[in-house]
Amino acid sequence: MTAVLKLRPLLTATHRYDKSLSTRDRGHGQIIQAPILAYLIETTNGRILFDVGCDYAKIAAPKLRAQYYENENFAFGAPDMQEPQRLPHHLAQLGLTPADIDVVFLSHLHFDHAGGLCDVCGTEVHVQQDELTAAQAGTDIAYFPSDFSGDYPWQVKQGEYDLVPGVRAISTPGHTAGHMSLWLEMPKGPPILLCGDAADLTENIEQEIAPGLCWNERSDLALESIRKLKRLGREEHADLWPNHDIDFFNTLKRYPNFHE
């Protein structure tokens, strides 16, 4: 019996960038607009937040913006994020505050997934040991160490595990060292696999294309993870949700509406 009650996708920002960042060796010179998402999962055992979006201050404050996004290392520039897109505002629409979140589950520690931790501080944060190690070592430019160097109540994990009945952390390394996807057994509809950045776009899934950024150039590992997600989807008749696909996102229920 699944503990999942409701799933709400949350649009925390949008980001325009070269498509080759999502599809390795494909789409150079083609600019796409990608949603930056978080997902609020309500269960009988509490509320889980999958990813937390960007740190708003690094986008809104000119000095920080220049430091983090407007430099030669960072070709994609800052995402577009408005104050009402911060997590506390989304939660307020449901009459909730960050204190009502029981667990933050991070797919990985890139700026567009872990930056919003400062808006939900105090909540237990799940991350993989391999991910934390790689991020602290600054393995790639999409890690902003100040995003995750605060005094957060980390729950450092290794490998796959159940958060609550019907919610399973699935190991999908490749994009980053300790990337995780999330399996959700839904109360009414088919199971949902939140791919995270294991699959940015539907194209990554359908055509088995690795993401542009791969940990240590391990696109083989990233492809293995895409195939693993597809196999799970086939065997369990689950829907795979890509994470940065604006067309796919537009087919989903609009917050605060939910999937169940």
Based on CB atoms, which residue is closest to Zn ion, 42 or 245?
Answer: 245
Q: How many CA atoms lie within 13 A of 8 on its CB side?
A: 19
Provide the minimum distance between the beta carbon of 2 and Zn ion in the complex, in angstroms, as a whole number.
28
d(CA 141, CA 183): 28
The stretch near Zn ion (CB under 5 A) out of 17-25, 104-112, 215-223, 225-233 is 104-112
Q: Which stretch binds Zn ion (CB under 5 A): 60-68, 105-113, 217-225, 232-240?
A: 105-113
| Cβ distance to Zn ion smaller for residue 55 or 197 | 197
Q: If we measure between CA atoms, which residue out of 127, 257, 95, 133 comes closest to residue 196?
A: 127
Nearer Cβ to Zn ion (47/110):
110
Within positions 13 to 42, which residues make up the interface with Zn ion, using CB under 5 A?
none
Residue count at the site for Zn ion (CB under 5 A)? Answer: 2
User: Per the structure block, which two tokens stand in for 117?
Assistant: 């931790």
Inter-CA distances, 66 with 52, 58, 126, Å: 22, 8, 30
The 10 Å CB-count burial string (b at 16+, else e) for 158-183 is eeeeebbebbbbbbbbbbbbbbbbbb
- Binding flag, residue 110, Zn ion (CB under 5 A): yes
Asked if 51 touches Zn ion (CB under 5 A), the answer is: no
Q: Is 197 in the site for Zn ion (CB under 5 A)?
A: yes
List contacts with Zn ion (CB under 5 A).
110, 197
